[in-house]
Amino acid sequence: MPALAEIRNHLVSAKLTIPELNEQLYFETNHWIEKLFNGISSDKSGIALVGIGGFGRAELTIGSDLDLLLLHSANMSNSASEIAEKIWYPIWDSGVGLDHSVRTIEQTLKLAETDLRVLFGLLDMRLVAGDAELTQNLNDRVLQLWRKSFNKRLPEIIEADHQRQDSYGDLAHLQNPNLKESRGGLRDLVTLSAIAKSWQVEVGLNSLQQAKRTLLNARSALHLVSGKSIDLLSQDYQAEVADKLGYRSTDELLKDIYKSARTISFSYQNAIRNASYLTKKSGIFSGRSKARRPVADGVVVIDNQIQLAINHEPSHSLLLRVAIAAAEHELGVNPETLKNLLASENTFTWDDNKRALFLSLLASGPGLIESWEALDQVGAIDLILPQWQPIRFAPQRNSVHQFTVDRHLIQTVVEASKLTTSVARPDILLMAALLHDIGKARMEDHSVLGAQLAVEITEQMGFSRLDRELIESLVRHHLLLAETATKRDLDDVSTIELVMENVKSQYVLTLLHQLTIADAYATSSIASSNWRLKLIDQLVDLIKKSLTGEGVVAEPDLRDDLEIDSHSIGISIQFDGNEYLIRTSVPDSPGVLAKVAGLLALNRLLVRSAKTKTIKDRAVSQWHIQPLFGETPSIDLLRSELNRVIQGSIDVAKLLKEREESAILQSKIVAPPKVVFPKVESRFTVVEVRAHDAPGLLYRIANQIAKQDLDIAAAIVSTLGATVDDVFYILNKSGEKLSSQQQAELSQAVLAELRL
């Protein structure tokens, strides 16, 4: 009989598709183990080899362990141990992982009573070879144990799953998802299968088969291309996995995975809710009749569940009212109820009532997330909002985002719902929040395309022409305030004028401001950090003064008010929220920004944001930093090193190069660097550098600018996730803006440096 390793190697080299490989791998492995057992034990009475867990479910990948139980009767203990060794050793020799045990029925049940994982594995048991009657006996008793103890063990299941899900995150949104352990992953399917076998809750496992196949195939391809038994589908492997599975791009792969995860999560949430409800209902008061509490026309709450009133009239309006009730009360609703209401009319036609209901749904707060997902899962969103389809499950490639495109929009609406009292038109704010990224997942500028789609959608919904134009403007310019505040010099009058070209009134400004805040909070804690929101607030305040006819006072954003020591060095450190604020004042000189940035890099201080400005003969700067390790160095040490760096006694370039060469692991640069010269009215040449973040990056950029014999009059530095966006205000040595030739040379030099 050939070794198992030979069989597996042959299958891997046979150029099978991933589904074919999985099927053949299971069949050949099972057949090989069965022959091994039969060759060892001719008498099958009282002993059986049982597959449990993934092997029991016939879910085998090239990286899967084999989970085997050698089950025996009490009088076969000695023989069982001998047989076990003859089975385990050939499997170990093949290099396949093995989780093994040798037990009687009573021993197995005793362990299952205390270990939930053991019990779950046994629920998927399957006879591989040996005594079928013995195996069936164990299977019957395991199911009996499970069904008897289900209500008691449900809280334990929920707690264990929640701890796991919180640790591994949400598979439906992660850019580097764990296919097994994350919320919506394969482990949740195991829980759902176990719940279904309790016979107490209808799970609908058949509807999850496609989602299951998608995740299993992705996991199998991951094992194959990585050569490892791993479940984390990192960006390093996504392209190869996508190619193995026949996807045209990694985005297509992730979109399918996210869709599957959302389907599983939705079923899991419903199953847990229903199981918890039935568990409570089976208590001492279960015989009492339950009161119906009306919450909307045709909608009632019974036993903390949204249900239809007895004499309801099915319609799409009722569908929206059910969704609103579920969102406002944060209660579940049976998907079949939603499906029936959706099917009550052939087409969805907007009218004033439906538009008002839809806006009420958007204003419902945090409960909107689950309610919208319920509508989406039954196909209602595709009918109500056909333009939504391209962004469903669409991945975000910017690491600053924590959600897929569609989920981000709903989160933005939730955040905007907290701000509706701050604007005169909350309906406009909510619609702009819902549509601001509707143009993503296409090969066009998402703000421009989104604005066009916003006009189309709001016209279908019946908004007035003026309202359509306002929503269109908000969608088109939803990035304006954030990008201007974090990338432009607020002391430059042209910055204010840039915004005012697109924002003509305080009415519009207030809406755009609140939309910007909602968008930031929905994106991530990085995008909504204190310093970013403060910059946006400052910009809005300046624009408001101009819009109301007040003069814009160009108060300097930075002040040269630090105490200067005998070496003409000023420095301070203070803790500012979750970051440190370092302020410096040093004599202005060529390359001074690069020197200060290099000092921070040498001390492993990560720059989250920064501003610099030349005030008379001083270079003044402030830095929001986070230590890569531990705490910040003492102010005395930084002062001493800053003086040495300014004097040139520390070779920053050499030390940073040595550190880079000694690094064990370098992060991969996902996107190529770019140098942009925005067309803005300014007395400076504005240069914007976008690149993947790396230690010493700001030093390298500023050093190249200095090498071009150019003067940095001011700079604004932003770090969002793994991407930096640095904006420099530059003059040449003659005090003039850069010529086209100088711009080209600077761009070439910076790009050459960043591509090293």
pLDDT on residue 668: 44
pLDDT score of 487 more than 60: yes
- Burial class, 551, CB count within 10 angstroms (exposed 0-12 / middle 13-18 / buried 19+): exposed
8 Å CB contact between 56 and 107: no
Say which range, 28-32, 77-81, 178-182, 680-684, has the weakest mean pLDDT.
680-684
Q: Cβ neighbours of residue 744 under 8 Å, at least 6 residues apart?
A: none
Percent of the chain at pLDDT > 90 equals 55
**Higher-scoring residue by pLDDT: 279, 617:** 617
Of 620, 627, 591, nearest to 606 (Cα)? 627
pLDDT on residue 741: 94
Average pLDDT of the residues in 558-579: 84
pLDDT score of 671 more than 70: no
Confidence of residue 550 (pLDDT cuts 50, 70, 90): very low
Phi, psi of 678 (to 5 degrees): -60, 145
pLDDT score of 630 more than 80: no
Of 174, 149, 152, 170, nearest to 161 (Cα)? 170
Average pLDDT of the residues in 667-681: 69
Average pLDDT of the residues in 370-375: 96
pLDDT on residue 18: 94
Average pLDDT of the residues in 707-715: 91
Residues β-bridged to residue 732: 710
Question: What residue type is assigned to position 274 of the chain?
Answer: N
Average pLDDT of the residues in 203-207: 88
Confidence of residue 307 (pLDDT cuts 50, 70, 90): confident
pLDDT score of 479 more than 60: yes
pLDDT on residue 557: 67
Say which range, 332-336, 423-427, 750-754, has the weakest mean pLDDT.
423-427
Of 722, 675, 691, 697, nearest to 397 (Cα)? 722
Percent of the chain at pLDDT > 70 equals 93
pLDDT on residue 628: 62
Q: Cβ neighbours of residue 484 under 8 Å, at least 6 residues apart?
A: 495, 498, 499, 539
pLDDT score of 363 more than 50: yes
The residue written with tokens 């270990």 in the block is: 115
On average, the pLDDT of the chain sits at 88
pLDDT, tens only, 495-533: 888 888 889 888 899 999 999 999 999 998 888 899 899
What is the DSSP annotation of 191-203?
A: HHHHHHTTTSS--
Phi, psi of 432 (to 5 degrees): -65, -40
pLDDT, tens only, 98-113: 999 999 999 999 999 9
Top-confidence range, 274-278, 315-319, 396-400: 315-319
pLDDT on residue 720: 55
Question: What residue type is assigned to position 635 of the chain?
Answer: I
